[in-house]
Amino acid sequence: MEYNELLEKAKLASEKAYAPYSKFKVGACVLTENDKIYTGCNFENSSFGLTICAERNAIGSAIADGEQKIKAVAIYSPNTKHCYPCGACRQVMCEFVSHHGLDIITEAENGLDIKNFNEIFPEGFRL
């Protein structure tokens, strides 16, 4: 699947986000090593620590379906370009990086911005 399509699916997912407190809607689309696609959106809670990010929502769906290796994550927010994952999402992604690596796809001013996961999260924690 082309990365433009992944970002478009992330954009559609962002429309379903529940963000009444921050007003910062995010959608994510995960592409697994087996070429399966999963989307997720953020959903907030009045107890802020219980908020779930779009990326972890999509990854959780992939894991629940038996997938364990992720090769790309597209992240979109109507609030900003270059919507990179938070630290918690980066650590979760670190757990499930594909043998081929992991690309992070965001919207840029003129198309896509694609970064290798290690560029945005070098030396991630692993047991």
Q: 106 - beta bridge partners?
A: 75, 113
Residues 106 and 81: beta-carbon distance below 8 Å:
yes
Residues 58 and 40: beta-carbon distance below 8 Å:
yes
Residues 127 and 91: beta-carbon distance below 8 Å:
no
Any residues with CB less than 8 A from the CB of 125 and at least 6 apart, and which? Answer: 91, 94
Residues 47 and 37: beta-carbon distance below 8 Å:
no
Residues 25 and 15: beta-carbon distance below 8 Å:
yes
Q: Is 55 a catalytic residue?
A: yes
Q: Which of 2, 44, 55, 107 is catalytic?
A: 55
Instruction: Write out the catalytic residue numbers.
Output: 55
